[in-house]
Amino acid sequence: MEISESNSALQIVALGGLGEIGMNMMVYQHGDDIIVVDCGLMFPSPDMLGIDYVIPDISWLRERSQNIRAICLTHGHEDHIGALPFVLQEINVPVYGTALTLGFLNEKLKEYKLDNMVELVTVKPRDTVQLGCFRVEFLRVAHSVVDGCALAITTPEGVVIHTGDFKIDHTPIDGQLTDLASLSRYGEAGVLALLSDSTNVEREGYTLSEKYVGEAFAEIFPRCGGRIIVAAFSSSIHRVQQVADIAARCGRKILLNGRSMVKNVQISRELGYLTIADDLLMDLKELPHLPPEQVCIISTGSQGEPMSALTRIAMDDHKQIKLEKGDTVILSSRVIPGNERTISELINHLYRRGAEVFHEKVSEVHVSGHASQEELKLMLNTVQPRFFIPIHGEYRHLVKHIQLAHKVGIPEERCILATNGEVVAFYADTAAIVEKVESGRVFVDGKGVGDVGRMVLKDRKHLSEDGMIVVIIGMNHSTGDVIYGPDIVSRGFVFEDESQEYLEDARQAVIFALEELNSEMRCDAEEVKTAVHQTLRRFCKKTIERRPVILPVIMEM
């Protein structure tokens, strides 16, 4: 049976979050009704010079804005709510979420003067809201941020369970367990489809409970004679609570360091998610007057961000906080892929200051907020979906999650491997990918959204080192089509003004090499880089017998 929009089928399309980590945004459509689940951002890769954030392309959604009933949020992490200040400027619809999630969001909206323009609707776990033809129940799930929820979305075609980010923590800090009872209730009644978090699908076993981190802190703190600095994500409220509790037991006062840490702790205390006595918190001006053994600093900057407070402390460039021999620094967060070298340098600088450093490779000072394989199996068996769609992960994660689903008895024909922009339609107990809509990435630079054009990117990528050729190519992330370039810039190799004909010949060689690649290889930035590098290396050696440093820069758009 052919499925199309005119059939009034349930259609699900990801505008971000499939085949990548971050930028999560899922759209559910049935007839004239649309709801959006999450609206996140992605932080730029090193080659996106000057770019602050990457957000989903909402062109397809913008054309249907009059049909959007609401945006429903699973939790308050940036990769799920970070794009809202930009998207809500164009699509102003009610936003539903739990108290802390909306507390974090409202603070972001204030920065863009949108806090009085957007309707924020607070829900509690097991609350149900009717949004057009969709009935959405919010179900508690454990995660690394408080107040996370899965969504049970009842549609005319059946129930869809959208897990959001989750893990099965049987001993959570706040006692709020993942609501397996409600998930089982839906599973017994019949679930059309499960969309489940794939982030940790490569990890065997179970994800450790957050309480293990508290036990590690309780072991480390009494052994420390100097100041203690705990670096964590500002949204890790349970982590902050455990640090505060153990610091109080050890006779230490708390100094909050970092703008987002100060603000998120304030919001969490006001909403009752954090219990920290006023007299336990100290001001920066008190720091010089307290002995080191009475100080605990909770800071942002665990990823070694260049301008973060912790990096400035490590570089001995912080005006008020100076590390001394005997101080202890605990990096209580996971290493985000791509930040390994930066964090390694941060740790080296901390040791140069005389500090002792604990991190996840040497101590259990961090646990993941995402389900590992046994928990993912438990979710699949509890929900018992007819169809399964893995979400939240790079392509290999989605493939691995489908392999895991096969192991628990879901046949291959009922597992759907979708990527961003592909429309999955459900109709008359069938499911299929029926079309691909416009999707992609939009760059945010300061207050500019999508206005970083190719000339700006060219200037940012223009390297002025001798003996170098820079090749700049803009590629469509989904199709591999060349959007911009190739543009060739040289420094110390040939003088551009006098060698335009030579550089044009080099450019044509690159174009020919790209045409020789198949579509799958053109969608892989590393394959394109290799092909460009090899082509220009052969071209330069053959024509003038020189070996310049060749730097292909592939911008995925």
Task: Give yes or no: residues 47 and 169 share one domain.
Answer: yes
Residues 346 and 463 grouped into a single domain? no
Residues 509, 398 within the same domain:
no
Q: Which domain holds residue 344?
A: 220-358
Q: Are residues 250 and 176 in the same domain?
A: no
Residue 546 lies in a domain: yes
- Domain-embedded: residue 446: no
Among 56-65, 452-461, 548-557, the least confident range: 452-461
The CATH number given to whatever domain includes residue 286 is 3.40.50.10710
- The model's pLDDT over 404-446, given as tens digits with 9 standing for 90+, comes to 999 999 999 999 999 999 999 998 889 999 999 998 888 776 6
213 within domain boundaries: no
Whether residues 372 and 351 fall in one domain: no
pTM over 0.85: no
Q: With respect to residue 363, please indicate whether it lies within any of the assigned structural domains.
A: no
- 28 and 117 share a domain? yes
Q: Is the separation of the CB atoms in 514 and 504 below 8 Å?
A: no
User: Does one domain contain both 472 and 418?
Assistant: no
Q: Which residues contact 493 (CB under 8 A, 6 or more apart)?
A: 466, 467, 468, 469, 546, 548
- Annotated catalytic residue, options 197, 327, 445, 487: 197
Per-residue pLDDT at 219 exceeds 50 = yes
Residues 127 and 102 in one domain: yes
The answer to the question of residue 312 being in a domain is yes
Taking all residues of the chain, what is their mean pLDDT, rounded to a whole number? 88
In a domain, 105, yes or no: yes
Is residue 130 domain-shared with residue 200, that is, in the same domain?
A: yes
Q: What is the pLDDT, as a whole number, of residue 527?
A: 81
Count CB atoms within 10 A of the CB of residue 385.
Answer: 26
Choosing from 358, 386, 418, the residue where a domain stops is: 358
Residue 17 inside a domain? The answer is: yes
Domain CATH for 528: 3.10.20.580
* Inside any domain, residue 152: yes
CATH of residue 117's domain is 3.60.15.10
pLDDT for residue 449: 62
| Spatial CA neighbour of 440 closest among 540, 541, 312, 556 | 556
- Picking from 417, 441, 465, the residue at the C-terminal end of a domain is 441
Helical residues (DSSP H) of 308-372, grouped into ranges: 309-314, 340-352
Q: Is 370 a catalytic residue?
A: yes
Whether residue 155 is found in the same domain as residue 35: yes
Sign of the dihedral through C-alpha 396, 402, 407, 413 = negative
pLDDT interval class at 47 (50, 70, 90): low
Q: Which of 420, 441, 462 represents a domain boundary (last residue)? A: 441
Q: pLDDT > 90: what percent of the chain?
A: 61
Whether pLDDT at 262 is above 70: yes
Report which of 9, 74, 63 is spatially closest to residue 423, judged by C-alpha positions. 9
19 and 63 assigned to the same domain = yes
Catalytic residue among 370, 397, 401, 477: 370
In a shared domain, residues 321 and 176: no
The 8-class DSSP code of residue 145 comes to S
Number of structural domains in the chain:
3
460: pLDDT strictly greater than 60: no
